[in-house]
Structure 1
């Protein structure tokens, strides 16, 4: 592989990791919000363009994340409210897939990524989870 191709691949991987981290933080931010947040506010807070936030929101929605989008005056984005988050049971292959994804992101990229990786590892080893 030529040096320029390696450099382009490395840059693409770096941008992908940054996008995934931003999308994780976006979900967490929307979950913590009491009301809709404008795309402009999110863009300013995350240090990216409004278009980048709009693309992130659309990717997340296409992936099944329940994000409500209201356009026009007074609009914004909000995470769909569905009450308490139920317990989820994963089989071994699902745990492995999640762990591999967290490893690619960086299992210490955020406190929630670290916590998720710890819980998955505990579940994989048959330990008790708190």
Structure 2
């Protein structure tokens, strides 16, 4: 993708739709993580009030971003986040932490328990030493 094409695509996006998509994707991650069983696209679509195709696109974006979602097609299929070991320490510099905080602020740092927890951990990481 060329730089001008990327800027054009970004400029044509509705920021409200982007925020709704991020909120929806966060819900999908949290819902799949909390579930012990595969969840169908239809079930997630019903819970979120969107189409199955929207859920499929969201899940594909998440998978492409590295979220460990497994999708099993067909009858009895669905999506699941396999049991994953807890994340180990991540070394981020201040600009990386700031960009994550800005992203959380855009979505709403209290939109979910995960968002609130992440924001608190990031804020603690950059707090001045006493």
The TM tier, using the shorter chain, reads 0.7 to 0.9
Structure 1-normalised TM-score? Answer: 0.83
- 2:20 alignment partner in structure 1: 18
Equivalent positions of 1:40-79 (< 5 A) are: 40-79=42-81
> Do structure 1's residue 98 and structure 2's residue 121 form an aligned pair?
no
Unmatched 5+ residue regions in structure 1? 1-8
Cα deviation code 1:15-52 (max 9, x no counterpart): 11111011001100000110111111111111111111
1:127 is displaced (CA, Å) by 5.8
* SS of 1:114 mapped into structure 2: helix
1:83 is displaced (CA, Å) by 2.5
Using the alignment, how far apart are the partners of 2:44 and 2:69 within structure 1? 14
* SS of 2:14 mapped into structure 1: helix
Alignment coverage as a number of residue pairs: 120
Unmatched 5+ residue regions in structure 2? 1-10
- 2:7 alignment partner in structure 1: none
User: Which contiguous aligned blocks of 4+ residues in structure 1 show a shift greater than 6 angstroms?
Assistant: none
State which drifts further: 58-67 or 108-117. 108-117
When the two chains are superposed, the root-mean-square deviation of aligned CA atoms in Å is 2.1
